[in-house]
């Protein structure tokens, strides 16, 4: 049977996904479709596929698939885009939305301009690798982990924002050969579940330049959970305070690691690119 699936292409800081409302267009094999639809020349072209659905625990649910078909537990940029999708298409009139993800329920706070969502703050929760003995007051120096690749040694901080990240601070980010080193670190034996890799450079007070190699999608223009992990790693290693702007290839995100709740708050834009439809043979 051939079905027509309506989708919306959206991006957050250039991190682009195909969004499908599964309450109207059920999808049976998202792993396979994410690979086919994400392909740049033969598909729609994207960093992956995002399914919006119902939830018995929250207002809506999100599932996120990378371009290689693997399913991730959380996506920062997609969660902001879902907030925009739900409000702008009239699926909700709430400006505070509970979103059920594989890494728990995230709270989206929508910021409107002219009746539409132009930016969203997402409560990303508590970073999982926050040291247990940390009092939350000052910067706790954290030992960076040495990682060797092809005889070259890197020092990285691992932070989980629902999905795993390895953050490596460097003096000159332009010196990093990301297409070469990215996949080697993603698939390093230290990380049996693979890992998202961020290279970061401190530009000045509260300003961090970051480039990302995403697990399952390769180089992307931005990564929301990666920006949060970078800001957390910068704070934990004494390189930044609690508020950072993370500047990526496709745009910037403002990250606050709230002292009282210990939750990470991510704020940034969400943009619709176009609506489309594609034939699916079931």
Ligand X SMILES: N[C@@H](CCC[C@H](N)C(=O)O)C(=O)O
Is residue 262 helix, strand or coil? Answer: coil
User: Annotated binding residue at 171?
Assistant: no
Structure tokens at 248: 């990526």
CB of 168 to ligand X, least distance (A): 17
Active site residue 223: yes
- Cα separation of 130 and 175, whole Å? 29
Choose between 140 and 272: whose C-beta lies nearer to ligand X.
272
User: Annotated binding residue at 224?
Assistant: yes
> What DSSP state is assigned to residue 238?
T
User: Annotated binding residue at 125?
Assistant: no
216: contact with ligand X by CB under 6 A: yes
In the region spanning residues 56 to 75, those forming contacts with ligand X, defined by CB under 6 A, are 64, 66, 72, 75
User: Annotated binding residue at 77?
Assistant: yes
- Cα separation of 199 and 156, whole Å? 9
Tell me the pairing of strands 145-149 and 116-123: unpaired
Contact 11, 250 (CB under 8 A): yes
Rounded to 10 degrees, the C-alpha dihedral 227/217/69/147 comes to -80
Choose between 152 and 212: whose C-beta lies nearer to ligand X.
212
User: Annotated binding residue at 32?
Assistant: no
Choose between 30 and 76: whose C-beta lies nearer to ligand X.
76
Number of H-type helices and E-type strands within the chain: 4, 18
Contact 266, 245 (CB under 8 A): no
Binding mask 161-190 for ligand X (x = CB under 6 A): --x---------------------------
- Cα separation of 59 and 77, whole Å? 18
Half-sphere exposure of 166 (CA within 13 A, CB side): 24
In the region spanning residues 108 to 147, those forming contacts with ligand X, defined by CB under 6 A, are none
Active site residue 75: yes
77: contact with ligand X by CB under 6 A: yes
Q: Which of 214, 236, 237, 251 binds ligand X (CB under 6 A)?
A: 214
Which span sits near ligand X by CB under 6 A: 136-144, 179-187, 217-225, 252-260? 217-225
Contact 51, 25 (CB under 8 A): no
62: nearest Cα among 90, 98, 91, 28: 98
76: contact with ligand X by CB under 6 A: yes
User: Annotated binding residue at 214?
Assistant: yes
196: contact with ligand X by CB under 6 A: yes
225: contact with ligand X by CB under 6 A: yes
Which entry of 5, 18, 49, 75 is annotated as an active-site residue?
A: 75
Sign of CA dihedral 137, 139, 143, 148: positive
Query: Which residues fall in the annotated binding site for substrate?
Result: 15, 66, 76-77, 163, 196, 214-215, 224-225
- Residue ranges in contact with ligand X by CB under 6 A: 15, 64, 66, 72, 75-77, 163, 196, 214-217, 220, 223-225
Query: Which residues fall in the annotated binding site?
Result: 15, 66, 76-77, 163, 196, 214-215, 224-225
- What positions carry a catalytic annotation? 75, 223
């Amino acid at each position: 049977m051939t079905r027509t699936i309506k989708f919306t292409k959206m991006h957050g800081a250039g991190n682009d996904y195909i969004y499908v409302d599964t309450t109207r267009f059920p999808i049976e094999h998202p792993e396979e479709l994410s690979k086919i639809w994400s392909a740049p020349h033969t598909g729609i072209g994207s960093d992956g596929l995002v399914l919006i659905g119902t939830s018995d625990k929250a207002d809506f649910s999100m599932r996120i698939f990378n371009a290689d078909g693997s399913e991730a537990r959380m996506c920062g940029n997609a969660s902001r885009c879902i907030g925009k999708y739900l409000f702008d298409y009239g699926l909700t009139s709430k400006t505070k939305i509970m979103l059920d993800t594989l890494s728990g329920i995230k709270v989206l706070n929508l910021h409107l301009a002219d009746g539409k969502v132009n930016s969203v703050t997402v409560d990303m929760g508590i970073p999982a690798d926050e040291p247990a003995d940390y009092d939350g007051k000052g910067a706790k120096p954290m030992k960076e982990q040495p990682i060797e690749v092809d005889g070259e040694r890197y020092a990285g901080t691992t932070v989980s924002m629902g999905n795993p990240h390895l953050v490596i601070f460097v003096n000159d980010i332009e010196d990093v050969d990301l297409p070469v080193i990215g996949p080697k670190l993603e698939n390093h034996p230290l990380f049996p579940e693979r890992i998202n890799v961020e290279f970061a450079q401190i530009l000045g007070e509260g300003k961090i330049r970051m480039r990302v190699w995403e697990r399952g999608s390769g180089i992307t223009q931005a990564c929301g959970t990666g920006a949060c992990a970078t800001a957390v790693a910068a704070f934990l290693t004494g390189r930044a305070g609690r508020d950072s702007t993370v500047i990526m290839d496709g745009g910037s995100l403002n990250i606050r690691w709230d002292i009282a709740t210990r939750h990470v708050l991510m704020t940034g834009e969400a943009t619709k690119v176009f609506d489309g439809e594609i034939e699916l043979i079931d």
